[in-house]
Amino acid sequence: MPSIADPTMAATDDGREKDGDDAPLETLSLDLPPDGEKGELWNILFECIGAPRDRDFVELGLDRAYISFFNLLRLQEQLGYSLRDYMYHKKRCGKDVASLEVIDTQRKAREMVESNETERRIRITMTKDPLTELQVSISPIKHTRETTMNEEPHVEEDINEYKIWLAEMVYVYPEMGKEYKDDYRQATIKTYKQWLTTQNKLPDDHTNDDPTIPEDETQDSTPSLTKWPSHARRHKEKVNGVCGQGPKKRGRGTLKGYTGAYKRIKIGSQKLQIQFSSRLGGPIGINHRTFVDEVTMFTRMRAPLIGVKSWKDVMDNVKESIASDVLNKWDLQNIDNAEQKILDIARERYKGWRGTLSATYKGYKTDADRMKNKPEDVDTIEWYYLLKYFATEEFKQISRKNTGCCKEKKSKHCTGSTSFSQRSFQQRDQETGEEPDDIELWLSTHTRNGRWTNSASQDVYDNAISRLSERETEQEGSNPTRKERNDIFQKTYKETIGCKTTRIYGHGALAKYPTRAQLMVAQIEHSRVTAADQQKRIELEADVQKLKEQVARDVAEREKFAQEVQEREQLKWEELREQLREDFRAQFRKEMQSMFAAKQQSNPPSNTENDGTPMPPVGKNNNKNQLARNLFNNKNSNSNVTPTYISSEQLRKSTRTRNRQIQIEWSTGWSSITFCYCFVEKYRLDVDDPRQSQAKELHNRGQDIAIFPSL
C-alpha cells in the first residue's frame, strides 16, 4: 500500500489553486498495489461539490502507476460519494481554462493521464448531480516538475556522528570510557581519530613539515588570503627590494609562553604580578601582554576544536582546568572574580583562533589545497573535522551574518593588539592615577599621528565635543562631571553611528555591563520600587492629612472646652462676687443702722437742724479731723464717695499711702481696721499683717477689696 504524500496545495471555489493552509485537506489511502511503479510522483486535486466545508478540497501525491479508473472509484467512495455519482476531469484547453469531461470508463481514465504527462497534475471534480457548466477556470500552466520518488534531498553529513559511536561504545564497554573521552583537546583528537579508523575515513597525513619553503614567484611580501593565510608561515622580508638568498628557516610559529618563563627565571618567582583595570576590566601593567599570551597558550592546550561550535560548548571541567593553570602561574589573590576574568580572556582568544582557522578555510578553493596548507597549530585530524564543519550550511549562515555585521561597523580603531584597558592605563595621570574619560580615550584609540582612521570616528568626536560645549553653556560655565562627559559621549556615539544597542562602546571586549535582559529586569525592579514608594508616600500623606485633621479637631474641642470652662468660672466668680457684695452691703447697712441707733440713744438730737451728715468727734484732734475732711472731700475726689471721718492714726496711714484710685469706705468713729477681704483672691488680712500692702496692690489692679472696721 503506497504512502500518500502530505498535501501542500488546494483549490479555491473557482478552481484556482490556493495554499493548503486556507483549505482543509483529507488523507486518503489505497488498498490495491499497482502492476508496477514508474517512480513519477503526480498530484491529484479533488474538488468535492456538496461535501462538508472541511472536505471540499483534497490533494494528494500519488505515483503514476496508481492512477487508474478502479483506484479513482475507490477514492470516490472514501470521499463520501457512491458509484452512481459523477466524476469530471478538468482537461486543460487553454492557459487558464479547462473543460469538464466525465470519467466513467478505464479508457477515459487513461486518456486523462496521457493528457497530463507534461504537467503531472490532475484536477477532478466530484458531484452528486450532473453539471451544466462544462468550462471552468484553472491555474496557469507551470514548468514541468522534475522531482521523482527516486530523487532524495541533499542531506548533510552529521559531523558529530562520532559522539553517538562513543556513547554506544562506552555503554557496551564501560572500560573504554577511560581511554576515549570527548572533553579535552587531545582526548577529542584521539577519540575522533579512532572513529575515523573504524569507519575507514582516516585522511592522509599532509602536515606540510618541509623545513624549506619555495620562493614566492610573485615576490609579494604580503600575499592575499587566497595565496597565503595570514597565520601560516611567511617569507622573509625583502632586503633592498630583493628576496634573501638560500632556503627560508622556520620561525617559532604560534608557540607562546617563552616570555613568561624568562621573566620568572629573571625575578626568581614562580608567580608573576598582574593588574586589572577597575573601569574597563582588562589586564594592565608591564605584564599584560605576557598574561594574555599565557591564557591563550593554556586555552589552546585544553579547549577542543572537535565536537564544539563555540566557546559555550566547551565543557566546564575544561574551563576550570584553564583557569587553574593560569592561577598557578600568576598572583591573582587580590583580584575580584579572577577566574571569571581569565575565562573572559580565554573566550575572546578562542573565538579569534577559530576565526583565523575559518579565514584559512576560505583562502583555498578545494579541500585538497586546504589539507595541504594545514595551519601548523592544529592537528591533521582536527583540520579534517573543521573542514567538514566549515562546509555545513549552519556555519555558512553564521559566517554570512557575522560578515554582514562587520561590514556595518562604521568606526575603526587603530590600537592593534593593545587593548583599550592598557591604552587607558598608559594615558593615566601619573600623580592622581586617574584614567582618561570616554571622549579622551576615543581620541587616543581612533587617531594615529593626528589623523583619524575614518570620517565616522571623527564625526563622533566632533559631535561629542559640540554637545559638551552646549552643556557647559547651559550650566553657565560649570564643568561637567566625569560621568556626565561619558554619558554625553555614549549618547552622541549612538546617534551619530545609528547604533541601537545598549552596550557601552569604546571600553573593549572585557568591560562588563548589564545585558538587555538584565537592564529590563533592573528597569522593572526600579519601576516596581518607585511605584511602591509612590504608593507608600501617598498612604503616608493620607495618614498625615488625617492626623492633621484629627489634631485640628482636638485643638478646636480643647479650645471650645477651655472657653466653656472659662465662661463657667467667670460666671461663677461673678455670682460669688455679687453675692459677697450683697452680703457686705447688707452687713454694712445693718451695722450702720445699729451704730446710728446706739448713737442716737446716747446723744439725743439738739434743736439745731441736722442734714444727716455725721458730726466729727469733739476733742483735741479737731484740726486733724478738719485736715482729714479736706483731704478726703476735695474737688478731685470721687463725688460718689460718702464723706467720712477717720482717726489721727488712720489719717497718718492714709496720708502716707494715699492713692486716688483707691476708694475705701470709712466709718465715723472707727478707731482701727479689723481686717480687709479680697473678693478675687479670697484671703483675709489683719490690720497689723505686713501683707496689708498687697491688698492695696490688688485694688490698684482693679480687684475689689473690702476693709472691715473694728466694732
Q: What is the mean pLDDT of residues 237-262?
A: 53
pLDDT tens digits, residue range 80-123? 888 888 888 888 877 677 888 888 888 888 888 888 887 788 88
* Highest mean pLDDT of the ranges 120-124, 149-153, 649-653: 120-124
227: pLDDT strictly greater than 80: no
Task: Look at residue 154 and tell me whether its pLDDT is greater than 60.
Answer: no
Q: Which of 121, 137, 153 is the last residue of a domain?
A: 137
User: Do 540 and 519 lie in a common domain?
Assistant: yes
More confident site: 707 or 84:
84
In a domain, 276, yes or no: no
pLDDT at position 211: 32
Same domain? For 643 and 569 the reply is no
591, 597, 603, 606 alpha-carbon torsion, rounded to 10°:
120
Q: What pLDDT score was predicted for residue 257?
A: 65
Band (625; pLDDT cuts 50, 70, 90): very low
**Mean pLDDT lowest for which of 71-85, 306-320, 362-376, 611-625?**
611-625
Is residue 503 one of the residues assigned to a domain? Answer: yes
Are 43 and 120 contacting, i.e. CB atoms less than 8 angstroms apart?
Answer: yes
User: Residue 20 sits in a domain of what CATH number?
Assistant: 3.10.20.90
Q: How far is CA 616 from CA 613, 619, 643, 652, 669, in A?
A: 9, 9, 11, 17, 8
Total of domains in the chain? 4
Alpha helices in 268-337 (DSSP H): 288-302, 316-327
Are 541 and 655 in the same domain? no
Do 587 and 643 fall into the same domain?
no
Q: Is residue 656 part of a domain?
A: yes
Check whether residue 32 and residue 65 sit in a common domain: yes
Q: Grid coordinates 560649570 are at which residue?
A: 478
DSSP 684: E
pLDDT at 408: 76
Whether residue 149 has pLDDT greater than 60? no
- For residue 91, with 0-12 CB atoms within 10 Å meaning exposed, 13-18 middle and 19 or more buried, which class applies? middle
State whether 582 and 690 are in the same domain.
Answer: no
Q: What is the mean pLDDT of residues 64-83?
A: 84
Nearest to 124 by CA among 16, 217, 45: 45
Identify the residue with better confidence: 81 or 214. Answer: 81
Average pLDDT value for residue range 42-47? 85
167 lies in a domain? no
Summarize the confidence of residues 167-181 as an average pLDDT: 81
575, 601, 627 - which closes a domain: 601
Structural domain includes residue 377: no
Q: Establish if 500 belongs to a structural domain.
A: yes
Higher pLDDT, 48 or 35: 48
Does residue 16 share a domain with residue 130? Answer: yes
Mean pLDDT of 568-589: 86
Statement to judge: residues 537 and 453 lie in one domain: no
Q: Residue 635 has what pLDDT? A: 42
Statement to judge: residues 45 and 125 lie in one domain: yes
Q: Is the pLDDT at 23 greater than 50, yes or no?
A: no
Cα dist from 412 to 40, 486, 493, 506, whole Å: 58, 19, 13, 11
Q: How far is CA 694 from CA 672, 698, 700, 701, 707, in A?
A: 19, 6, 10, 11, 13
pLDDT at position 117, please? Answer: 80
Q: Average the pLDDT over 262-288 and give the result.
A: 78
Pairing state between β 86-92 and 41-48: unpaired
pLDDT of residue 628: 44
Q: Is residue 474 part of a domain?
A: yes
Predicted confidence band of residue 500 (pLDDT cuts 50, 70, 90)? low
Which range of residues forms the domain containing residue 620? 616-709
pLDDT at 566 over 70: yes
Q: Which pLDDT score is estimated for 305?
A: 92
Hey, what's the cell of 120?
503531472
**Best CA proximity match to 143, nearest among 125, 121, 160:** 121
| Cα 77 from Cα 579, distance rounded (Å) | 128
Tell me what pLDDT residue 604 has.
63
Last residue of a domain, one of 513, 537, 558: 513
pLDDT at 266: 76
In a domain, 346, yes or no: no
What SS3 class is residue 231? coil
539 and 597 share a domain? yes
- In this structure, are 80 and 101 located in the same domain? yes
Residue 700 confidence (pLDDT):
60
